[in-house]
Amino acid sequence: MRAAIVGGGIIGLSIAAELLRRGADVTVYDPAPDGTDGAWHVAAGMLAPGGESVFEVPQLERLLEASGELWPAFAAGLGEVGYDSAGTLGVALTADDVTEMAREWKHQKLAPLTGSQVRDLAPALSPRIRAGAYAPTERQVDPRRVVGALRAALDGRTEKRFVSAVSELEAEVVVVAAGCGTAALTGLPIRPVKGQVLRLRGEPGLLRHVIDGAADGRHVYLVPRADGEVVVGATQEERTDRTPTAGGVHDLLRAALDLVPGLAEHELAEVSVGHRPGTPDNAPILGTLRDNVIVAAGHHRNGILLAPITARLIADLVLTGETDPIIDAFTPGRFGCA
């Protein structure tokens, strides 16, 4: 089987690596394969099936959970990619923040903690925090390391090329996994949703858990890596530009420092902007578009979490024409395009 994959982001590379593992001949096309172009390069790497699913349809919730279960083995197969299962602490600063966060915690069936209970778990948190909850199954990974490991596994099977039309490619099957670039190639309704993210750097050990919090109405997450980096994210804006803004950075920093005052001593090491590939119903588009053209795109806020299950489902489809019925809710046909 000769398969061409359009897009060398986390989704295209995960599919390509799975196809290669199962014996297919794959080539990945991407103009920026080392790239800072994809959303993966900006993404924090939260693997949060519950925390991200509160407003989503049940089928997406099941897909997120199923992919979360695949992550330990997926990460183990890639080597050292920063997969960390310390879990996530949800926290709320004001009474209004408690009301907002409590909806999420209730949905996830998490036991509420008092401010002092949550600070026992994470002493760097502000004494002003009123309430929290611990989510042991909400984990994290470093997407930059994941993409590095996937590229190494593909060992030269990536070609630096922008694909303008699927018909350019000679292959038995073409998989379009081009993130936001998928719309131009397929006509599918995928739009860029801008996100600004900060990377702070300091002494390791200030935080052990991912912090997912609300501070005076500002929602923020803090993802601490073992080397002392803390990723602070993210804005969510219906914009296509790549400009970091004073307002975006201010909101993120203010919320981060309100929750963890000790971060004030960290270096502001990076400000970056990426675009989530969003769809009208926030769910990915997975399945056959037309003869020999398969789509795996539109993963919006959850593309890192959804990489293992997407790779498995799409590799099944490419190699056998069939896959688990869990995919049925995500076909391109729901937008009248297949």
When the beta carbons of 159 and 261 are compared against ligand FAD, the nearer one is 159
The reply on whether position 44 binds ligand FAD by CB under 6 A is yes
d(CA 327, CA 338): 15
Task: Look at residue 179 and give its three-state secondary structure.
Answer: helix
The reply on whether position 49 binds ligand FAD by CB under 6 A is no
Q: Smallest distance from the beta carbon of 132 to ligand FAD, in angstroms?
A: 20
Q: What is the DSSP letter of 227?
A: T
Q: CA torsion sign, 13 to 82 to 251 to 48? A: positive
* CA triple 167-180-41, angle to 5 deg: 120
The reply on whether position 87 binds ligand FAD by CB under 6 A is no
**C-alpha to C-alpha distances, 18 to 3, 107, 187, 248, nearest whole angstrom:** 12, 33, 26, 37
The reply on whether position 199 binds ligand FAD by CB under 6 A is no
Binding range to ligand FAD, per CB under 6 A, among 73-81, 172-180, 260-268, 322-330: 172-180
d(CA 207, CA 331): 40
The binder of ligand FAD chosen from 3, 5, 6, 293 (CB under 6 A) = 6
Q: Provide the residue type at 257 as one letter.
A: L
The binder of ligand FAD chosen from 15, 18, 29, 263 (CB under 6 A) = 29
Helix axes 307-320, 10-21, angle to 10 degrees: 50
The binder of ligand FAD chosen from 119, 145, 266, 301 (CB under 6 A) = 301
Among positions 176-195, residues that touch ligand FAD (CB under 6 A) are 177-179, 181, 185, 195
- Interface residue list for ligand FAD (CB under 6 A): 6-12, 29-32, 35, 37-40, 42-46, 162-163, 177-179, 181, 185, 195, 197, 233-234, 274-277, 297, 299-305
